[in-house]
Structure 1
Amino acid sequence: MLATMVALVWPAVADAVELRLHTADFPPFAIADSAERPGIVVELGRELARRAGIGFSVSFEPWARAQAEVRDGHDAAIMPLGRTPEREDRYTWVAEVLVYGVNFVSADGRRHDLDGARRLGSVRVQDGTSFLEDLRAKGFANLKTATDTADNARILAAGRADAWYVPEIEARWLWHRHGLAGTPTIGPRVGVEQAWLALSPGADPDLVAALRHHFQTMVDDGTRDRVVASYSPPLFK
C-alpha cells in the first residue's frame, strides 16, 4: 500500500523545482558561514530532497523573516521550527526532525531553574522563537531579545545579562565558535523543544506525502541520527 502511494506522488514531486529551505544561523542546527559543515537541518534537507528526486536550496535569514517567507509563500520549507499552538494553522507540518532540551545558561557559574530565572534582572532570548513565546506564557517580565542568537551569547559573556534561554548544544557551539571567554554554565533542562520541518500553508499534498515518506526512511535507516551525532563532538559532552 505504501509503495503504491509513493509511486502515485512521483509525477507531482518531479514537477517541483526544489525544496527551498528557509532558516537562520542556529549552530549547530544551521550554520550560515560553513559550506562544508552547514548544520544538522541543512544536511537533512539536502538528503531529503535527493531522496525525493528534487532540487535543494537554502536561504539564511533573520528567523522572524524566514518564518514570514514560508508562512506567506508557496511550497517553501522551514527548519528547525518549534510547533506551538500559535503556529499550528500557519504552516503545513511535515515531520518532526528532532527533540532537544532548552536550558538557562549563565556565565558566572550559577545554575538557574525556571523559578530562579524568573527572579533575575535580565534573561536573554532570541526574538521570533518559540523559546520567547514559552517564557512569555510563563509570565517572565525580565526578557531581553536579540534577532541574532550570537548577540545573546556575546552579551552574556560580557556580563551584561544574568542568563540566556537557549538549547544547550547551541550555547556551547556559539561560545566555542566566537571564542568567548570562560565556560558557560548550563542549568537543569527546563524545556523540551520539538523541531519540525514545515511547509507553507496549503502546500502541495503530494509533495507533503513524499517528503514525509522519505524523511521516515531517513529515520528508519539511521541517517537522521548519524547526522545529529556528527554535530555532537567531545566538546559538547
Structure 2
Amino acid sequence: MLKFFMVFWASVLVSSAGAVQAASAHNRIDLLTENFPPYNMSVDGKNFAQEESLSGIAVDIVREACKRAGIPYSMTLRFPWERIYKTALEQPGYGVFVTARLPEREDSFKWVGPIGPDDWILLARADSSLKIGSLDDVKRQGLRIGAYKGDAIAEDLVKQGINPDLSLRDQENVQKLQTNQIDVWATGDPAGRYLARQQGITDFKTVLRFNESQLFLALNKQTPDDVVQKLQNTLEQMRKDGEVQRILERYL
C-alpha cells in the first residue's frame, strides 16, 4: 500500500510540474520586430537578429517589462515588416513591436503601451524653400514624397490620395532626399532624424507635422488577458520609477 501511495504522489507531482511547464509554455510570447531605429534595431545592422543581438528604446523597454512581469518570451528581428506584422496578426503566441495603434487596427490586436512617441512629419533638405501648410499642399504642388513600404504613414498617405515613392527600408529615403529623387520624406519623429544622423545628415528640416502618434506592442488577439494586463501594469510601473526615461536617455 505504501508503495502504491508513493507511486501515486510521484505521478501527481510529475503531472503538476508538467502542467506548470505547459502553462508557462502556453503564455510564452514570440516577439517580432524590425530595424526601426532608435526603437528597434540589430546590433550589427543586419535584417536578422535574435535576443541580445537586438538593441533600441523599445527593445530595452519590452525586454525589461517581460522580465519584471515574469512572462517567458523570445525576441527576433526579421525583414520585411509586412511579413512579421502578418505573423503576429494571424498566429497565436506572437506579438510585434513597435507599431502605431490606429483605429482600423484597434480590434486586430491586444495592445501594451504606449512605448514612445512617433509623430508624423515631412522632412526636406536644409536648402529647401518649400512652404507646406497641409498634405493638400503636397498634392497641389505635385511634390514627390518618399515613405516606407508597409508603414502606417505610407498607408495613411495613400488613403488621402497621395501615392508616395515607397522604399523597402526607411534609411533609403535619406539618400533619396539628399540626391533630389524626392522632394520631402514622410517619416516618424524621432525615428527619421535618428536615421539621418546615422548617415551623417543633421540638417534636414521639418516642413510639416501632420499627425501625433504613439507606438505600441501589438499582441495576437488570443494572448491571455492576464498576460496583457501584467505587461501593461509593469510598463506603467517602469514609467513611474523612471526606468523608461533612463532607457530613452541612452539613445536620444
TM-score (norm: length of structure 2): 0.78
SS at match of 2:41: coil
2:94 aligned with 1:76: yes
1:123 aligns with 2:141: no
Aligned to 1:92: 110
Task: Tell me the equivalent position of 2:33.
Answer: 23
Tell me by how many angstroms 1:50 deviates.
0.9
Separation of aligned partners in 2, 1:102 and 1:223: 26
5 Å matches for 1:29-178? 29-34=39-44, 38-61=55-78, 62-110=80-128, 112-114=132-134, 115-118=136-139, 119-141=141-163, 143-178=164-199
Instruction: Measure, in 2, the Cα distance between the counterparts of 1:225 and 1:117.
Output: 36
CA contact under 8 A between 2:110 and 2:218: conserved in structure 1?
Answer: yes
Contact 2:27 2:93 in 1 (8 A): no
> Cα distance 1:138–1:19, how it changes in 2: closer, same or farther (>3 A)?
same
- Report deviation, 1:229: 2.8
The one-letter amino acid of 1:100's match is D
Structure 2 stretches lacking a partner, 5+ long: 1-19, 45-51
The 3-state SS of whatever aligns with 2:42 is coil
Cα offsets for 1:114-152 (capped at 9, x unmatched): 2333324310111111111222222224x1111211112
Matched AA of 1:221 = D
Contact 1:21 1:45 in 2 (8 A): no
**Contact 1:24-1:60 within 8 A present in 2 as well:** yes
**Worse overlay, 57-66 or 23-32:** 57-66
Tell me, what secondary structure is at the counterpart of 1:77? Answer: strand
The residue that corresponds to 1:196 in the other structure is 216
Q: Secondary structure, in 3 states, of the residue corresponding to 1:65?
A: helix
Q: 1:220 aligns with which of 228, 235, 240?
A: 240
User: Aligned partners of 1:168 and 1:100: how far apart in 2?
Assistant: 5
Structure 2 residue aligned with 1:183: 203
Paired with 1:18 and 1:149, the residues of 2 have a C-alpha distance of 31
Quote the offset at 1:65 in angstroms.
1.3
Q: Give, as a single letter, the amino acid of the residue that structure 2 aligns with 1:85.
A: P
Q: What TM-score do you get using the length of structure 1 for normalisation?
A: 0.82
Instruction: Report if aligned partners of 2:25, 2:72 keep a CA contact under 8 Å in 1.
Output: no
| Separation in 1, partners of 2:203, 2:197 | 9
State the identity as a percent: 24
Alignment: residue pair count:
221
